[in-house]
A and B are shown apart, each in its own frame.
Chain A
Amino acid sequence: MLKNLYIYRYRTINFLKTFFSQIILILVSISCIFPLVWMFSAALKTQQTVFTDMSLFPKHPVWNNFVVAWTKANFGVYFFNSLFYTVVVVFGVIFIGSLAAFAFSRFKFPLRNFFYILFMATMMIPIPGSFISLYILLTKLNLINTRIGYILPQINGGLAMTIFMLKTFFDKMPKDLENAAKIDGCNKFRIYLHVALPLAKQAIAVMVIFTALGVWNEYLLAMLVLSSKTLMPLQRGLMVFQGSHMTEYPLLMAGITITIFPIVTIYLLMQKYIIKGVMAGAVKE
């Protein structure tokens, strides 16, 4: 009898715990999603109704806001710029980074460890002001307000992490594979291209996602380097739009929707890998 009572009590407490946990989790989830819903809802209102209509989904949604934002507010141009920068930087980071990681892992050459440690050191030590001299350098090289001036520093910015991740991966690659390829007459580059890279597919995929997220969300460098609207990526474009159209909330929110749509889509499709990547990265460290 007493035993039953204990079990009963235990079950009730457990139920209450789960119940309240669920309520809290749901409330927090709503607070995570709501600002985005509110943004989207404002993007569907007119300049007049946005300040008075407090409904979550307006009765007469103005889808035209997206067309206006895309064409007249220049977000179409910003979007393709962002896409271009993201593709080029990701390709650059992965190509240059994986080449270096392979060499650091597999070859012996003078100053190998010196350079590797140098790479890792800059990843660990924060240098908050290096953007000042980066700006000066780009001015000297006549790369201010050019695409290449925006791309190269970002490729460099992604290298250390990529080299670190891929080197740890290549270190685990069996030596026999490399030897077999050598006997078949592969040179170093072909071993890298045909043996190492295909094996590292998954690790590379993770680096692609995280680098792409970083480039798509980059702002500081874009602010310092780019001043022509034709060259700006979305994040910079948003601030430029906000600076000159302070209160045009519907168009601004349409612009933000355009900005985050690809990110949110890719995140939802790849969430398993992204969250696993964050978890793995943390626990390993």
Chain B
Amino acid sequence: MKFTWFHLMPWPHLPDDFREKYRSVWVDIPTTLYDAKRGHQIYHDYLDQLEFAEKMGFDALGVNEHHANAYGLMPSPNIMAAALARRTSKAAVMVLGDSIALYNPPIRVAEEFAMLDVITGGRLVAGFPVGTSMDTNYAYGQIPALTREKYAEAHELIMKAWREDEPFAFNGRYTQLRYVNCWPKPIQRPRPPIFIPGGGSLETYDFCLEFDYTYCYLSYSGYLRAKQLMDGYWERVAKSGKDDSPYRGGFAQVICVADTDAEAERLYAPHVHYFYNRCLHVYPGFADAPGYRTIKTLQANMITQLTQAQLRNYPTLTWKDLVDQGYVIAGSPQTVYDRMVDLAKTLRVGNIFALFQVGDMPGDKVRHSTQLFAEKVMPRLKAEMFPEWRNEDRFWIKPMQDSERRLAAE
């Protein structure tokens, strides 16, 4: 299995009465709640945590893109990836990713990802999300019903820019460029591994299968609720006639490890509640702009989504609810190991985007949990899960040889 240590970089100083006083953590949350001097410390703490994760042996360090929010403070994930590029030398740098419909022109993504791949010596995993509706439509003003068409065109442009050796003209509906000429080119040819976050639409399943991209389900509802969606994906994989490598799939999971189950609750419960009750407090009017989802997807998933929305009543969930229902995998190393095995088997995913820093969790607890997982859980999972796919390398980075490569700056 491949473990990505993923950071959302949340703002950890939202007030206790945040839910009562403010309607949304996204889009129209006032910046009076932000403090740039504290932000300075926090960015450095968070980058330190990512660097620590490399030392602990995680396969990848993950960052992503969000706008106008206190849930994740990375409007530009490429800046974070660049900071990591010079301070790490082994782990993949996973940008999950750049919301390609938001870059104008999107050739910018081809260029910046190529820069990151060159600087890291071929350690980039490139993610191409559509972005949440809050980010893409409300904060970045994209017309909802045209967002996916613009995304598809941006994808076509970026891939061609990486692939072609000669300058070419690109006559798109949303981007016209007389000269596409991507300097630099990525180390990984024809392209770095590509990961696509999805939420259950058939179009995204097929898109991933057509190009052999890894399909990633980033949910905070835990693996038990994700089963139906991932089953849908694997059915589609089977129908397509492709192999069922578990590395075609990935899942995000909040993980909290302590010496005992009781200790996990004592150490982490307040921070997990902060995350679910403040970081995910999104005004329903911003959750899903009309036209953002295709009608086909709505028709296929509407009833499931409505049911899930009713279940997603975070403030009423206790620690026990969150753990029992699998939102959070928490406890002793043995407990966490058992549940991770169950997760990997239930969803058949080779990639885990593990969230150890959650809500307002401070650095010492983040390190404690990360280290216990890295020492007592991760090696067992790597040794035992999906042995028949041990040599799978199609979906992962192919860096330059160590001997050719500049290693981390000290």
The judgment on whether A and B are partners is: no
